Structure 1
Amino acid sequence: MIGAIASDSTSTKPSVYITSIATICAAIGIPLLIHLITKRKISRRLSLVTEAALKIAQGNTKHPIQVSGSDELGHIAGALEALKSTANELHRSNTELEKFAYAAAHDLRAPLRAIQDLVRWTIDDPDTVFSASSQRNLKMLLTRADRLSALLSNLLAYAQVGHDDDDITSIDISDLVDAAHDLLDPNGRFSVQFDGPVRTTTTYSTPLHQILLNALSNAIKHHDAETGRIAVSTSCADGRLTVTVSDDGPGIPLNHQDQAFDLFKTLRPRDQVEGSGLGLSIIQKYAAHYDGRVTLRSDPEVERGTHLTFDLLNSSLAQATAA
């Protein structure tokens, strides 16, 4: 009897050990497995949220956010959905505003041109005799009409940024500078020198042309003398073309430089300057739209002049971006 009991006791020991080991393994393995599954699920959801955030940051508001739930990631996904809606509404409002500005500026040009012609015909009419004050008023009216015409042209240019053909071509910057100089300063009052060293580049043609045109125009219009010097220098590094337009004008005070790129901002009264206050705004908008940067350097208390520097993607990088 005793031997039988001892035999049974001995035979049950392996079973007890196996059960204990299985219990320990289950106690450790099941939570570990749950942890791994949960971690993988969270990692997947986090990856989806991160991808969606990056797409939205790049301007792709149509990218789906495939994450939901009542936890922190679910709340972040909800916030991103709200951000997408806000971004879409802002884009729609900006598009409508640009369309309105373009349409208004375009439609106003015809009646304004008629007013300019009528005033000119009246001034030039030999059969009409005006007093000195009337002649002065008519010329002032024509001046105001010409200024409004320039403003409408600049508004059209500002609204058109981003809607031009993104042609990437080989450009001779020196020729571009000469053509802009001939257009803006037909009497040759200003010396415009191209210093290089980069003369030929392959980049977006319209932005480069418009930025250079506005930079040179700004330097000429805001100069405080009848004559002056403007220098255009270029460089290429890290796949980017950098252009600096330097003048010997009065410069821009440091306390006004933060406002220099604001719409319709001029540092002198309208009666003293031809500009509409849109030149630098157009430059900044073009640079931003084409992944470029624009900076201003000027300190009239140290030396005269302003240095306007902008850059654009160059050559193969521009082609890859356009594609």
Structure 2
Amino acid sequence: MSQQLPHGVGPEGADEPAAPAAADPPRRRTRAGMPWTTRRALNVSVAVATVLLLVLGGSGVWVHARAADAAVRLVERSSPALIAAGSLENALINQETGIRGYGLTGRREFLQPYHDGLSQEKAAAGRLRALLGHDGPGAQDLARVLDRTEAWQKQVARPVAAAPSGSPVRLAAQRAGAGLRTFDAVRAALGAQQRHLEHERAQARAELHDVGALQNGIFSGLAAVGFVLLVLAVIGLRRAVTDPLGKLSADVRAVARGDFRRPVQGSGPADLRALASDIDGMRQRLVDELAFSDETRAQLDAQATELQRSNNELEQFAYVASHDLQEPLRKVASFCQLLERRNAAQLDDRAQQYIAFAVDGANRMQALINDLLAFSRVGRVHAEHTDVDLEALLGQVLESLSIAIEESAATVTHDPLPTVPGDTTQLGMLLQNLLSNALKFRSPDKPPTVHLSAHRTDGYWQFSVDDNGIGIDPSYSEKIFVIFQRLHTRESYPGTGIGLALCKKVVEYHGGTIGVDHDHAPGTRITFTLADHAPVIPAPTTTEPALQGEATAS
């Protein structure tokens, strides 16, 4: 519908002139006198806030890194190292207990704590090496403990454990003093290691506590600065932006409701005033554009009506011309056949051959006209899409092709076929043309084998018709779907050259695509897709019901 302009507003020649535009404010100033625009105010505010937040944020990141480092040292090094050192001490005490018991009794079961302690010592020492590394005070403490343990093992433990059982071990009594001194050295090394590890853990805890307090202070500062910046931003935005924008929005809404005489005036920062001036200029241009748009729309409507009328006339002409051609052709064929029957005795072989040529030409012309009518009806004569059972439809097609299948000794197989939305008649023509082509263009030295496959993919059904026939040159993969394009002479393979063009039109009408798969060999594979949902069908033209009725009558 054409939008009506209010009285007093319109293109040149209207009753009243449009309201004058608000004067543009000066936009160029020296740097010393540069006005505070919204952009400038926001840039300064963002810069100040960014500097403050970067300083506090950087401090927070540094403190967080220190806290994380202290926590890692406490959780992943100091505490596990203390636990492993305790396990090492227990392992050595178990060894000393087992050696002393075996030395006093000479019974082998007293050596079990010693052997268990050896395994525990190895595991605990491995954990300590992994935690403390190979350098530093912790590694030196561990090395000292292991060296003194090795001395005790060498002087006392191994010789006593190797002594025969059955009675108190004399060697244990002989080396009791040396064993006491060497194991006291082991205990001293273990004690020093425990003290150093506990001191390291205490340092990590203290550092973690200090860093946590500092971190809380920085985060509190960040929250305070953020709150202050938020309050200042709200106040500044309301005074510099929100209130002027509210007035500007009211003027713009009035224009949007159709009050084109209302000028759009701005206040506040310089850029908002400039924006108001630009909008007011756009308001004035909109008045002119609306008038021009109404005129253009009227012209387009008239052209569309004329184009529709012309299309209807062309369709009617094409159908009537095709329909009127069929009656003379039927008469030619009928009278030629009548002439042949009545005068068969007087006609020689050449005359009968001429009559056969005439009848064949008339029949081929009539077939061509029928194919042209079928081709023109696809996409023009519309029917509601219904659910089409392709399995049942294929059965009907095979029944109509039964003579051709029997004469060619063909084998036709197919996958389970789906139910798709579409036009039953058109889909039947699609299957019949594809299968009849597969039977027609067969290899001369073997019976045809045809297979129709189907599988679903991404909202479409993918179909393919495979045969073992003569195949198609890849250079003609597009040409074969053009109407009247033939790759062979009519004497070699009869036909009108419309079949595959009709197939393409049917497939595209159903929202799919069709083509040739040249990876299939030998023979030909025609692939096509059909949408698993009903495509949008344009409304039929006014002449189509009449044409459809005439086509049925013919």
Do the aligned residues in 1 keep the contact of 2:514 with 2:528 (CA within 8 Å)? Answer: yes
- Letter of the 2:333 partner, please give it: Q
Please state how far the C-alpha of 1:322 moved relative to its aligned partner: 8.3
**Residues of 2 paired with 1:296 and 1:85: CA distance?**
43
| Pairing partner for 1:306 from 518, 524, 543 | 524
Deviation string for 1:214-254 (max 9, x for gaps)? 22233333335384122111223333233222222212212
Q: Which residue of 1 aligns with 2:335?
A: 118
Report the CA distance shift for 1:103/1:234 in structure 2 as closer, same or farther (over 3 A): farther
Do the aligned residues in 2 keep the contact of 1:102 with 1:160 (CA within 8 Å)? Answer: no
Report the CA distance shift for 1:264/1:91 in structure 2 as closer, same or farther (over 3 A): farther
Deviation string for 1:15-49 (max 9, x for gaps)? xxxxx989x9453330144457789999x9xxxxx
Report the CA distance shift for 1:127/1:195 in structure 2 as closer, same or farther (over 3 A): closer
Alignment of 1:43-54 (within 5 A): none
Do the aligned residues in 2 keep the contact of 1:221 with 1:275 (CA within 8 Å)? Answer: no
Please state how far the C-alpha of 1:197 moved relative to its aligned partner: 3.3
For the residue of structure 2 that corresponds to 1:318, the secondary structure is coil
| Pairing partner for 2:497 from 274, 277, 281 | 277
**Residues of 1 paired with 2:430 and 2:299: CA distance?**
36
| Pairing partner for 2:467 from 228, 241, 247 | 247
**Residues of 2 paired with 1:131 and 1:28: CA distance?**
102
Q: Which residue of 2 aligns with 1:15?
A: none
Report the CA distance shift for 1:243/1:112 in structure 2 as closer, same or farther (over 3 A): same
Alignment of 1:134-213 (within 5 A): 134-187=351-404, 188=406, 189=408, 191=410, 193-213=412-432
**Residues of 2 paired with 1:241 and 1:224: CA distance?**
29
Report the CA distance shift for 1:39/1:231 in structure 2 as closer, same or farther (over 3 A): farther
Please state how far the C-alpha of 1:82 moved relative to its aligned partner: 9.7
Say whether residues 1:267 and 2:487 are aligned partners.
yes
Say whether residues 1:292 and 2:535 are aligned partners.
no
Larger strand proportion of the pair: 1
Q: Which residue of 1 aligns with 2:347?
A: 130
Q: Which residue of 1 aligns with 2:47?
A: none
Please state how far the C-alpha of 1:276 moved relative to its aligned partner: 0.4
For the residue of structure 2 that corresponds to 1:275, the secondary structure is coil
Unaligned runs of 5+ in 1: 1-19, 45-65
Q: Which residue of 1 aligns with 2:534?
A: 318
Stretch of structure 1 that moved more, 32-41 or 118-127: 32-41
For the residue of structure 2 that corresponds to 1:111, the secondary structure is helix
Give the structure with higher Rg (CA).
2
- Letter of the 1:139 partner, please give it: A
**Residues of 2 paired with 1:267 and 1:244: CA distance?**
21
**Residues of 2 paired with 1:97 and 1:224: CA distance?**
42
Residue-pair matches, total: 272
Do the aligned residues in 2 keep the contact of 1:232 with 1:243 (CA within 8 Å)? Answer: yes
Report the CA distance shift for 1:199/1:39 in structure 2 as closer, same or farther (over 3 A): same
Do the aligned residues in 2 keep the contact of 1:101 with 1:155 (CA within 8 Å)? Answer: no
Unaligned runs of 5+ in 2: 1-34, 37-239, 241-266, 540-554
Deviation string for 1:51-88 (max 9, x for gaps)? xxxxxxxxxxxxxxx8687xxxx9xxx8x999999888
Larger helix proportion of the pair: 2
For the residue of structure 2 that corresponds to 1:271, the secondary structure is coil
Q: Which residue of 2 aligns with 1:108?
A: 325
TM-score by length of 1: 0.68
Please state how far the C-alpha of 1:257 moved relative to its aligned partner: 2.0
Q: Which residue of 2 aligns with 1:220?
A: 439
Report the CA distance shift for 1:212/1:94 in structure 2 as closer, same or farther (over 3 A): farther
For the residue of structure 2 that corresponds to 1:128, the secondary structure is coil
Q: Which residue of 1 aligns with 2:96?
A: none
